[in-house]
Structure 1
Amino acid sequence: MPFIFNVKRAWIVAVLALAACTQPWQSVAPGADVSALIARLGPPRETYKLPDGGTRLMWPTQPMGFTTTAADVDASGKVVSVRQVLQESEFARARVNEWTRSDVLINFGRPVETAFFPRTQREVWSYRYMESNIHNMMFNFYFDQEGILRLTQRTPDPMRERNLRRF
């Protein structure tokens, strides 16, 4: 009997652990009123108008965090989608030589860092994220003088990677 009890206990612990992985925004279904989302997450820190007349609301955890929850809301105030945007699949949507600073801002929110490289005449916007839920990384967007996205790059986050802090 003790063996069955331990298996049951392990099963309960596993279920509770998986439930703990659920993010607060995942409980708000598409079609819900935006007020339900705001009640769950609080007021958004960033808001952007979308070309279709809707709005994108964002809840970033930057500068030290590595997630940004983005919710698209239609013109009538109904939630269309909610997702975490600082991840590889979202970064892959960026179109080099097509997107502008505005496109990056609307899709990922304000960057955690910006820099300008005079020699190459490139401005870079950087975002913290977790690669494969393991590695602390920075995703970098490089813009030319006209604000066109010309290059993207992943780099280890120097603030969080122990091996890089030695230098």
Structure 2
Amino acid sequence: MRLHARHTALALLTALALAGLSACDQERVAKLEEGVASESDVRQQFGEPTRTVERADGSKVLEYPRQPEGTTNYVIEIGPDGKMSSLRQLLQPANFAKVQPGMSDLEVRQLLGQPAKTHRFDLKPDETIWDWRFQDGQERKVFSVTFGKDKTVIATATQDDPRERDAGR
């Protein structure tokens, strides 16, 4: 009984922490206006990006993944004028639907951002699976992409987040 209570308490604390992170992100997003906010404003709200891509035209793409524990991946574009031109949350059903067999791992990475987890199985050494955690209404889910040995998509799947099932035990 004690182990179950401890596990339930841990699940509750994790859920509260994630809700807090989500609320903080919503407040950060609300403070940034496209065409007005500068790169400095973005960094003040979101901190240092995990990845920055500088384009030939002087624009930049700043990545702010909330994986592996969160359910969002933000991409913020800064135009050549130094102003925020877009702020997108990538982990959306419309983006998952765009992932098709034959796409490269780079194309998927650009579409969905950093995965929460990458894994391989000994019995299928030529395959790699990337997972992203996301929120579907009130349900936490995992979107998975399986890549073949040539690093192109061979399959996708969506399932309930196993951590949610485990927390209910």
Please, what TM-score do these two structures have when normalized by structure 2?
0.71
* Shift of residue 147, structure 1, vs aligned partner: 0.8
**Cα–Cα, structure 1 residues 91 and 55, in superposed 2: closer, same or farther, change >3 Å?**
farther
Report the Cα distance in structure 2 between the residues aligned to 1:85 and 1:57, rounded to whole angstroms.
13
Map 1:134-149 to 2 at 5 A. Answer: 134-149=138-153
Fraction of identical pairs, as percent = 25
SS at match of 1:90: helix
Residue matched to 1:59: 64
Task: For 2:165, give the aligned amino acid.
Answer: E
SS at match of 2:98: coil
Deviations 1:19-57 (A, max 9, x none): 999442233222232222112221112223568764321
Residue matched to 1:104: 108
Which structure 1 residue ranges, 5 or more long, are not aligned?
Answer: 1-18
**Cα–Cα, structure 1 residues 52 and 109, in superposed 2: closer, same or farther, change >3 Å?**
farther
Conservation of the 8 A alpha-carbon contact between 1:136 and 1:161: no
SS at match of 1:39: helix
Residue matched to 2:14: none
SS at match of 1:161: helix
Report the Cα distance in structure 1 between the residues aligned to 2:110 and 2:142, rounded to whole angstroms.
18
More helix by share: 2
Report how many aligned residue pairs link the two structures: 145
**1:35 equivalent in alignment to 2:36:** no
- Partner of residue 114 from structure 1, selected from 114, 118, 143: 118
Residue matched to 2:130: 125
Deviations 1:127-146 (A, max 9, x none): 111112x1111111111111
Conservation of the 8 A alpha-carbon contact between 2:130 and 2:145: yes
CA RMSD, 1 decimal:
2.8
